Structure 1
Amino acid sequence: MPVLFSYLVTFTVYLLLCFYLAPAFESEGKALLRGSLYLLIFLALGYLVGIINIYFTALLALKLMFIYFNRNQKNNEAALYSEATLLTASWLLITIGLLYLSTPLMMRFYLLFVVPAAIVVYLYAVHVYLPVLKLNNGNTFYYILRMFLFTVLSCITVYMLGLVFSGNNRVLERPAVNAVMVIDTGDVDNRQNLVILNFLTQLLLVTPLALGTYKRRNAKKQEEISMLKTELGQSDANLNFLKSQINPHFLFNALNTLYGTALQEQAARTSEGIQKLGEMMRFMLEENIKDTITLSRDIQYLKNYILLQKLRSATSPAITIETDIEEYQGKLTITPMLLIPFVENAFKHGISLQNPSHIEVALQIEGNTLYFDVHNSIHSRQENDPEKDRGGIGLENVKQRLSLLYPNRHELVIRENAREFFVHLTIQLAVNN
């Protein structure tokens, strides 16, 4: 029965490594990894108390190594669990290897009891305590004090473990392949030596090592952030340079001249189109670069765009364009260029000069909620159509922006069949303070 129980526990641990720990390390985030620490502790205890024999422990440690090196290295949230896995597997392999060598008995005790305690304290300091502690001259003292308290606690734990593993009248000796761990810490002197070694290890080795490791990793993160800021600054400088190549005053003066000329020639539709185009270009140059703008300005840009499109299709009686856009002068704000891609897509794919076409655009505001609907026919573009390959902001891009900017505050429904395309968008907007 003991042998059967040992094999059952070993097989259970192996299944957990294969079907729980390995998939958890390959996934994103850390939600699935939170139980991995309990699995590692269970494996270590099973090895120490002799439930899992030495041969299978070595194989399980190699499996841990395989899982570690095949983990998702882009998952920064799994640092604690991946490092705990690496240290646990290394500890198991080293202790098993030294059992087959002529090493002093106290060194074996040191590896079996002190090193695991050092690993636990190290992981706590680097991944739990130091990240929430703002290091400066005063806080360094608190760090050392906290580490001293954990050292005392670990010394008590090591001494209690020494008592548990004493009295077997057997000592650590070179085991057979299928043997289990047999530990006897012996007399009081051995336990006292273990406590002294643990105290010195925690204070003189683990405390500065954890602090140095955290500072080095934090410095690397700060360097990466600084590099990203530098690259962002260069991008902003390039963007500002490109903007400086456009002289808005000359552009708008030229449009005003054309507008005046069209009025003198009594070309009402042309003058109106030039006026709306100028307003749209001013919007693109001055307001489109902002994070948020007033909803009224975005609605005005939307109306100007639709009006220009109506001017293009005014001579085609088969094209029907209907709008029901509510006038709004409140304080709600919206990210620019969220609504126009849907209308742009409707005119791109919904207008045909040869076939009947229709586009319907509706916009309503109730409280802080915007309701936006676009309904259009679908026609394939002709090969000679100048807008056939025109891009614009794609719908997938808009979906991503909505997910990032309005998480849990929007609803987007898109339906399509062979002849029609329908979009319904609801957004909970914020008020401009």
Structure 2
Amino acid sequence: MQKFIDEKLKTEPARIEFGIFTGFVLVSLVFNIVDITRIQLNNDGLIAGPIMETFFYHLIIGISYIMLCFYVTPVFESRSDKASNSVYIFAFISICILLDIINVFFAALLGLKILLTYFNRNKQNQVNAYYHEVALLAASWILILAGAFYINVIWPKIFILYSLPVLMMAYLYAIYRILPKAQLKGRKFLYYLSRMFFMALLTTLGYVIFFKIREEAGPGTYEMFTPDNIRRNLIILGNIHEDTQVLIVVGNFFVQLLIITPLAWSIYKKRNEKKEEEITMLRTELGQSDANLNFLKSQINPHFLFNALNTLYGTALQENAERTGEGIQKLGDMMRFMLQENTQDKILLSRDIDYLRNYILLQQLRTATSEGIVINTQIADYAGNLMIAPMLLIPFVENAFKHGISLINPSHIKVTLQTKDNTLYFDVHNSTHIRNENDPEKDHSGIGLENVKQRLNLLYPERHELIIRETGSDFFIHITLQLDANS
């Protein structure tokens, strides 16, 4: 157990923080049990039920903190892991706070922990940008709610407790769903405004329906099966004065329309402008003008040509004509591709697939006489008009043949490519082998692999997903790429 904790809490401050929070929970549990025992004995009441209830609440607090420490924090600090499950953890903690299972003191501590995790996030991991923002909003709501506990006026508490989360979710939906779609429309602001108006209307109608249902259900609905503190929060919204209900309903509609809508639009626009500046800067720093982009591609080509010529030479020694002739033909097709099409910004996907197939066939010629080498390709035929930047896929296949083939140990390579609508799905799975200490390529990770990562980030920002997984004996990459059709 200690080893697991040390692996998750890699720094001394993290271990100290974990110890302090655990101590708070245990001390709180002991004091609550002592207090419950004293009160119940003085009143000649049963103590088992209340003790189990307070133990359950503290268990939930502990579980919430452990999930933040052992899952959310490591994923937020990661360079590539996706933090999709963190949303469910934040939702779980928020619901427990709403139901008063987690009290104000521990809610504030959990809020500070989420905020600390947010500030220590890996900003380079753009895959988690949405989850980072969810964390910031969740922490803000929890801390504001903890501060509102000391306010005596009822309607600010109600607004912070119930309305603020709805407004935050409306903001997130606008930034990450509505606005990206609006950019593809002709009248993007009108499209965006209409969708936000509809969402404000829908959430407002939801409040009206809820108030109506809760009023008809009556305050005793939850009394038979919920503890006192949970029941208090469940029924409070239904017992709000009619004037406050109207304020919440009308306020929700106009705050969404007049504050959230322009705020989301402004933030999204500024982020796009900043992203464009970063891309321009990246072009300069990485030499990603047309000439320098071609230079990055050319880093791959000579290396491959020498390998291909060596392959043909070896094949010629083995037999006289047929395989060598086939290899020369494939090499000629590939050289023609590199001279005529490789310098273009975009080419037809079908041409890139042809190049990929020719490369694999050449490599199969080289390994055909070697036992224990299994090469499996499932490359679907494509005759559409989708366009792709050339030489994006081949470095991963080249890397597979470079590191995945051994003439001594069993080896395997599997390449899969398929398209659906405008999306390309590409997988390469290969074995890996420990190289000889004297091998000059031992510590190199494949020709052009870093270049192609840079080109993906540059040419397909937010339109690609690259997953790389490596074990002691296997290497796997998966690419999902959103392509444009030839105009």
Report the TM range for the smaller structure's normalisation.
Answer: 0.5 to 0.7
Deviation string 1:269-298 (CA, Å, 9 cap, x unpaired) is: xxxxxxxxxxxxxxxxxxx93865898886
Deviation string 1:20-51 (CA, Å, 9 cap, x unpaired) is: 222221224454x2222122122112112222
How do 1:79-98 and structure 2 match up within 5 A? 79-98=129-148
Match status 1:200 vs 2:254:
yes
Q: 2:428 aligns with which of 401, 404, 408?
A: 408
Looking at structure 1, the residues matched to 304 and 398 of structure 2 have their Cα atoms a distance apart, in angstroms, of: 17
Q: CA deviation at 1:153?
A: 2.1
Pair 211,370 (structure 1): closer, same or farther in 2 beyond 3 Å: farther
Looking at structure 1, the residues matched to 278 and 437 of structure 2 have their Cα atoms a distance apart, in angstroms, of: 47
Match status 1:110 vs 2:159:
yes
Q: 2:85 aligns with which of 30, 35, 56?
A: 35
Looking at structure 2, the residues matched to 96 and 53 of structure 1 have their Cα atoms a distance apart, in angstroms, of: 9
Partner in structure 1 of residue 265 of structure 2: 211
Which 10-residue stretch deviates more, 400-409 or 143-152? 400-409
Q: CA deviation at 1:413?
A: 4.8
- 1:26–1:72: 8 Å Cα contact kept in structure 2? yes
Looking at structure 2, the residues matched to 210 and 37 of structure 1 have their Cα atoms a distance apart, in angstroms, of: 20
Looking at structure 1, the residues matched to 302 and 284 of structure 2 have their Cα atoms a distance apart, in angstroms, of: 27
User: Percent of aligned pairs with the same residue?
Assistant: 33
Structure 2 SS opposite 1:408: strand
- 1:48–1:181: 8 Å Cα contact kept in structure 2? no
Pair 290,191 (structure 1): closer, same or farther in 2 beyond 3 Å: same
Looking at structure 2, the residues matched to 36 and 218 of structure 1 have their Cα atoms a distance apart, in angstroms, of: 25
Flag structure 1 segments of 5+ consecutive residues without an equivalent: 170-177, 244-287, 307-321, 336-363, 374-397, 426-433
How do 1:246-265 and structure 2 match up within 5 A? none
Q: 1:11 aligns with which of 62, 79, 82?
A: 62
Partner in structure 2 of residue 54 of structure 1: 104
Looking at structure 2, the residues matched to 4 and 149 of structure 1 have their Cα atoms a distance apart, in angstroms, of: 44
Looking at structure 1, the residues matched to 268 and 360 of structure 2 have their Cα atoms a distance apart, in angstroms, of: 51
With structure 2 as the length reference, what TM-score do the two structures score? 0.51
- 1:293–1:334: 8 Å Cα contact kept in structure 2? no
The one-letter code of the counterpart of 1:89 is A
Flag structure 2 segments of 5+ consecutive residues without an equivalent: 1-48, 221-228, 336-358, 369-394, 403-414, 416-426, 447-487
Match status 1:143 vs 2:197:
no
Pair 128,179 (structure 1): closer, same or farther in 2 beyond 3 Å: closer
Please report the RMSD computed on the Cα atoms of aligned residues, expressed in angstroms. 4.6
Q: CA deviation at 1:106?
A: 1.9
Q: When the two structures are aligned, how many residues end up with a matched partner?
A: 300
Looking at structure 2, the residues matched to 68 and 97 of structure 1 have their Cα atoms a distance apart, in angstroms, of: 20
Looking at structure 1, the residues matched to 306 and 437 of structure 2 have their Cα atoms a distance apart, in angstroms, of: 33
Looking at structure 2, the residues matched to 221 and 180 of structure 1 have their Cα atoms a distance apart, in angstroms, of: 47
The one-letter code of the counterpart of 2:187 is G
Pair 186,144 (structure 1): closer, same or farther in 2 beyond 3 Å: same
Q: CA deviation at 1:201?
A: 0.7
Pair 298,112 (structure 1): closer, same or farther in 2 beyond 3 Å: same
Q: CA deviation at 1:230?
A: 3.8
The one-letter code of the counterpart of 1:97 is G
Looking at structure 1, the residues matched to 306 and 113 of structure 2 have their Cα atoms a distance apart, in angstroms, of: 61
Match status 1:371 vs 2:366:
yes
Looking at structure 2, the residues matched to 187 and 231 of structure 1 have their Cα atoms a distance apart, in angstroms, of: 61
Match status 1:289 vs 2:302:
no
Structure 2 SS opposite 1:100: coil
Q: CA deviation at 1:202?
A: 0.5
Structure 2 SS opposite 1:331: helix
Partner in structure 1 of residue 168 of structure 2: 119
Pair 8,234 (structure 1): closer, same or farther in 2 beyond 3 Å: closer
Structure 2 SS opposite 1:369: helix
Structure 1 SS opposite 2:84: coil
Pair 134,160 (structure 1): closer, same or farther in 2 beyond 3 Å: same
Q: CA deviation at 1:100?
A: 1.3
Looking at structure 2, the residues matched to 56 and 294 of structure 1 have their Cα atoms a distance apart, in angstroms, of: 60
Pair 294,116 (structure 1): closer, same or farther in 2 beyond 3 Å: closer
The one-letter code of the counterpart of 1:70 is N
Q: CA deviation at 1:221?
A: 1.1
Looking at structure 2, the residues matched to 226 and 418 of structure 1 have their Cα atoms a distance apart, in angstroms, of: 41
With structure 1 as the length reference, what TM-score do the two structures score? 0.57
Partner in structure 2 of residue 67 of structure 1: 117
Looking at structure 2, the residues matched to 40 and 400 of structure 1 have their Cα atoms a distance apart, in angstroms, of: 40
